[in-house]
């Protein structure tokens, strides 16, 4: 079976690369010897990292060639259909869906996060094109409710976990402590705290709040604080700014690593302060206690699954309270570990089941 997959791939964003790594793992588990073609910003890098074929995400002729003998066009996962980061995202991704439908190919939305959709044109496109596809799987209830409110009714729709919940580190991936040691970061002594931050223009002062909370962890518990840029180009300057604001020593993992390697590092961590969505997915999947900074509704949707509240959000942006939230979560570590440990296998199975639904959609398309 041949799958053509569209998403935010090839931009060296750990979260999106984790989605792709998990999707390809899961599709290979349920479909014997699949042919997987990925639309990517950097086709050569994607082929190298994921052992797939790839074509430029802007090469319409090349994409059309790959679609010609495809059994299924997969859109997702991740937050593709939103117009906050760019007004071009929705037209681009749904344009590809429209191309696939014009070529009479079944289309599957793979555990997507939908919204925010602030523009009328975005909402119109999602409703119109959404009703053309065969199957829609979203990764949280708010996404499902948004689609229903827009009038998307034709395809079968359900909620499942983000693909990265089912990611396996892979053979040969070293333990997180070994990876940190190889990067010159101490792995013995105090508890390991992993920090993920990203740009957030709507909440001035959040960098100072993160730096202060991390200082408190170092002073009180001798923590080893390691900042991990999940989207290196965007996040590394923010990580560096936090480190420079801190009074205590902290480190940045400033190197290229695979999603499975970052997952392994999170598994060895004692605590996390997470802003990037997939830093929190990794924390939940590895039963690592955390405090979240909710810069986007998708983070709130994820937190609702595990019964946690954000330490900072756009609705509650009192930066002085972050340290209190961190201190509270630190003292609830064992409770959080137990809760996440109980939830993680269920979320992993849910994530893997989406691949079964995708293969089923492709098989039905073959028979038509």
* pLDDT tens-digit profile, the chain (368 residues): 999 999 999 999 999 999 999 999 999 999 988 999 999 999 999 999 999 999 999 999 999 999 999 999 999 999 999 999 899 999 999 999 999 999 999 999 999 999 999 999 999 999 999 999 999 999 999 999 999 999 999 999 999 999 999 999 876 678 888 999 889 998 877 999 999 999 998 888 899 999 999 999 999 999 999 999 999 889 999 999 999 999 999 999 977 889 999 999 999 999 999 999 999 999 999 999 999 999 999 999 999 999 999 999 877 777 778 999 999 999 999 999 999 999 999 999 999 999 999 999 999 877 66
338 falls within a domain: yes
357 falls within a domain: no
Distance CA 355, CA 166 (A): 11
Same domain, 321 and 180: yes
Same domain, 84 and 222: no
Same domain, 208 and 271: yes
349 falls within a domain: no
112, 143 Cβ separation under 8 angstroms = yes
CA atoms within 13 A on the CB side of 113: 21
Boundaries of domain holding 131: 2-159
Same domain, 326 and 229: yes
Same domain, 105 and 68: yes
9, 16 Cβ separation under 8 angstroms = yes
191 falls within a domain: yes
Distance CA 53, CA 312 (A): 41
- Whether pTM > 0.85 for this model: the answer is yes
257 falls within a domain: yes
Of the residues 99, 133, 159, the one at which a domain ends: 159
The pLDDT score that the predictor gives to residue 171 is 66
Same domain, 290 and 236: yes
357, 346 Cβ separation under 8 angstroms = no
Same domain, 254 and 145: no
36, 3 Cβ separation under 8 angstroms = yes
Same domain, 242 and 193: yes
138 falls within a domain: yes
364 falls within a domain: no
- Say how far residue 217 (Cα) sits from the centre of its chain: 27
The pLDDT score that the predictor gives to residue 314 is 79
Of the residues 126, 159, 192, the one at which a domain ends: 159
* Phi–psi pair at 56, nearest 5 degrees: -60, 135
350 falls within a domain: no
Instruction: Give the chain's radius of gyration (CA, Å).
Output: 20
- Give exposure, 119-140, as e/b (b: 16+ Cβ within 10 Å): eeebbebbbebbebbbbbbbbb
Task: Output the domain CATH number for residue 256.
Answer: 3.40.50.2000
Q: What is the DSSP string of 317-333?
A: --GGGHHHHHHHHHHTH
Same domain, 194 and 320: yes
Query: What total number of domains does the chain contain?
Result: 2
Residue 102: C-alpha distances to residues 76, 105, 137 (Å): 19, 8, 21
Same domain, 131 and 205: no
Same domain, 153 and 180: no
The pLDDT score that the predictor gives to residue 333 is 97
Same domain, 196 and 334: yes
């Amino acid at each position: 079976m041949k799958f053509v997959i569209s998403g935010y791939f090839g931009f060296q964003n750990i979260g999106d690369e984790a989605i792709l790594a998990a999707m390809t793992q899961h599709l290979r588990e349920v479909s014997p010897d699949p042919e997987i073609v990925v639309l990517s910003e950097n086709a050569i890098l994607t082929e190298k990292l994921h052992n797939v074929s790839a074509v430029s995400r802007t090469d319409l002729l090349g994409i059309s060639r790959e679609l010609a003998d495809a059994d299924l066009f997969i859109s997702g996962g991740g937050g593709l259909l939103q117009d906050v980061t760019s007004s071009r995202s929705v037209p681009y991704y749904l344009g590809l869906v429209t191309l696939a439908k014009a070529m009479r190919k079944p289309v599957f939305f793979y555990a997507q996060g939908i919204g925010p959709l602030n523009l009328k044109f975005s909402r119109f496109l999602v409703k119109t094109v959404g009703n053309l596809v065969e199957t829609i799987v979203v990764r949280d209830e708010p996404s499902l409710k948004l689609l229903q409110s827009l009038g998307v009714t034709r395809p079968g729709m359900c909620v499942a976990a983000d693909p990265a919940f089912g990611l396996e580190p892979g053979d040969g991936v070293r333990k997180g402590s070994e990876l940190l040691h190889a990067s010159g970061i101490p792995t013995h002594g105090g508890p390991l705290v992993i920090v993920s931050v990203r740009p957030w223009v709507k909440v001035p002062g959040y960098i100072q709040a993160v730096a202060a909370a991390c200082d408190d962890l170092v002073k009180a518990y001798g923590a080893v604080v390691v900042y991990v840029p999940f989207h290196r180009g965007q996040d590394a300057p923010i990580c560096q700014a936090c480190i420079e604001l801190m009074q205590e020593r902290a480190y940045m993992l400033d190197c290229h690593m695979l999603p499975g390697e970052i997952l392994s590092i999170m598994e060895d961590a004692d605590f996390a302060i997470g802003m990037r969505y997939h830093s929190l997915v990794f924390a939940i999947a590895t039963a690592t206690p955390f405090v979240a900074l909710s810069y986007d509704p998708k983070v709130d949707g994820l937190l609702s699954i595990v019964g946690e509240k954000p330490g900072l959000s756009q609705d509650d942006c009192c930066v002085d309270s972050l340290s209190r939230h961190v201190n509270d979560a630190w003292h609830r570590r064992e409770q959080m570990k137990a809760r996440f440990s109980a939830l993680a296998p269920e979320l992993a199975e849910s994530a893997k089941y989406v691949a079964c639904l995708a293969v089923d959609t492709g098989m039905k398309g073959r028979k038509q």
